Amino acid sequence: MTFYSYAYLTHQNSNHTLFQLVVIGIIILVIAGVSWLWYRHKSDLKYRDLFIIMVLLLLLLVGIQVNEWQSLQSSFSQKSQVTQIMQRVAREKGVRQSDIWSNTTTVSSGMLIKVKHQIYNVTVNPDGNSYTLTKATPISTQLNYVKEGN
User: DSSP string of 76-125?
Assistant: HHHHHHHHHHHHHHHHHHT--GGGEEES-SS--TTEEEEETTEEEEEEE-
pLDDT value at residue 117: 85
pLDDT value at residue 12: 64
* pLDDT grade for 43, boundaries at 50, 70 and 90: confident
For the segment 51-77, the average pLDDT, to the nearest whole number, is 83
| In the chain, where the domains are located | 2-146
pLDDT value at residue 150: 53
**Burial letters for 65-80: b for 16+ Cβ neighbours within 10 Å, e otherwise?**
eeeeeeeeeeeeebbe
pTM over 0.75: no
CA pair distance 116, 139, nearest whole angstrom: 18
pLDDT value at residue 7: 83
Percentage of the chain beyond pLDDT 90 is: 10
CA pair distance 1, 145, nearest whole angstrom: 9
pLDDT by residue (tens digit) across 3-27? 888 888 877 655 666 777 788 888 8
pLDDT by residue (tens digit) across 104-133? 888 887 889 999 889 999 988 887 778 888
Q: Is the pLDDT of residue 76 over 80?
A: no
